[in-house]
Structure 1
Amino acid sequence: MKVGMVASHYPHAVYREEFISRVHRVAEEFRRTPGCLSADCWVPVDGDAVISIVQWESEEAFAASFAAVEAAGLDLAYDERESRPREMVRLMAS
């Protein structure tokens, strides 16, 4: 069963471009993982959020993607570069 995730990130303005690059690097690693169907970075036309949308073919592929990102040493941690906590929504196909 397909699963997905939508994550809204809120970087401080001074870190916005760095954060967008960070999300793109993570998305690239996700896409290299077998079973990842798509991984993209979006920014609203009006607003300051950075939104990542990822889709996998299964829960196992989801777990493998996160393990690959961690193994690659990419930064997923929430920290002071963000102005407020992330909003994450896990999805499953119906």
Structure 2
Amino acid sequence: MNVGMVAFHYPHAAYQEEFVSRVHRVAEEFRRTPGCLSAGCWVSGEAVVSIVHWESEEAFTASFATVLAAGLDLDYDEREARPREIHRLVAA
């Protein structure tokens, strides 16, 4: 069963470009993991949107563990104007 994640990030304007770069680096790492079908970065107004698609729940779990172990900057901090909105998806 395919699973996905859509995350809306709201960086302060001064950090928009930096945040887009951060999301691109994370997406690159996700795409390298087995079972990740796609990962990308989008911009919609003030939001930076990351979308990732996996072939299974197991691939999702393994992929996240790999990305976390890579030491990438994933932390929510003062560079963001408001909390992230993260939605897990399951194929219907």
Q: TM-score under structure 2 normalisation?
A: 0.97
Secondary structure at 1:10 match in 2: strand
Per the TM alignment, residue 76 of structure 1 is displaced from its structure 2 partner at its CA by 1.1
Aligned position for 2:79: 81
Aligned position for 1:64: 62
1:1-94 correspondence runs (5 A): 1-44=1-44, 47-94=45-92
Secondary structure at 1:80 match in 2: coil
One-letter code aligned to 1:13? A
| Structure 2 residue runs without a partner (length 5+) | none
| Percent of residue pairs identical | 79
One-letter code aligned to 1:36? C
Secondary structure at 2:82 match in 1: coil
One-letter code aligned to 2:23? V
Q: TM-score under structure 1 normalisation?
A: 0.95
Greater shift after overlay, 79-88 or 68-77?
Answer: 68-77
One-letter code aligned to 2:64? F
One-letter code aligned to 2:76? Y
One-letter code aligned to 1:60? E
**Moved >2 Å (runs of 4+):** none
